[in-house]
Amino acid sequence: MPFSQQTIDFLFENRLHDSKAWFSEHKGDYTRVVVEPFTEIVNALAPTMAKIDPEIICDPKKLSRIYRDARYARDSVFRDEMWFTFARKRADAYVGHPGFYFAVGVNGMSYGCGYYCADSAVKEAVRGMILADDECFKKAFSAYNKQKKFTFYGELYKKNHFPDQPPEKCEWLNRKEYGVNYFSNDPEEMFSEKLAENVARDFTEISPLYDFYVRAEQDAVMLGKK
């Protein structure tokens, strides 16, 4: 089944009650209107992800937990947004890889590609490829400029660290975070039967950006900086 208004309503009400007892009583609803639609879209996107990178994991069981981490969420128990990350297997629980993600919450849906948190070695490799006009960067640059849906997330450094570079490169070079995002709260788009098809098309369109980040990751490892 696709996502529906019931998905949003459940996430909102569960967060409003913020009660383990209430959640336990309505766990069947959670499975039906949240877990099952996520399972469906993850499985539907699996063939596309395999074409982009065969090492990407598409196991619906890896869906984010609805419980928040008690160490950092003293004011609440539950999330009002759920997401799935399409990425390679982690060798270290604290080391992430570039990936794709899809999220649904009370405010709408979002999906995109990039890093949750890129380390300094990867950032150095990314900037090196940009400054060298690496072919992988040029493909990513072209793919981003051709599409009209995704925008960069995260802030730019207040100071331009590359004043001698053209503005279009500085937009990439001065990023604090690496990735692009698309957001929508349009019910017709969120609850469409063609949602998985649309996301698959968009992920394919932006996949050169993923290839660029993977290459930066590899370069950082080869240089012994990661």
Residue 195 pLDDT: 97
Give the confidence band of 171 by pLDDT, cuts at 50, 70, 90: very high
- From the CB of residue 201, how many other CB atoms can be counted at a distance below 10 Å? 13
Domains in the chain: how many in total?
1
Give the confidence band of 92 by pLDDT, cuts at 50, 70, 90: low
Complete edge-to-edge strand list for the sheet that includes strand 108-114: 81-87, 99-105, 108-114, 179-184, 151-152
Compute the distance between CA of residue 12 and CA of residue 34 in angstroms, rounded to an integer: 12
What value does the mean pLDDT take over residues 146-163? 93
Residue 144 pLDDT: 97
pLDDT tens-digit map of 2-44: 899 999 999 999 999 999 999 999 999 999 999 999 999 999 9
- From the CB of residue 82, how many other CB atoms can be counted at a distance below 10 Å? 20
Compute the distance between CA of residue 43 and CA of residue 68 in angstroms, rounded to an integer: 25
CATH number, domain containing residue 126: 3.30.930.20
Fill in the DSSP letter of residue 34: I
Is the distance from CB of 188 to CB of 84 less than 8 angstroms? no
In percent, the amount of the chain with pLDDT more than 90 equals 81
Give the chain's mean pLDDT: 92
Give the domain range for residue 218: 5-222
Compute the distance between CA of residue 191 and CA of residue 188 in angstroms, rounded to an integer: 6
What value does the mean pLDDT take over residues 60-72? 84
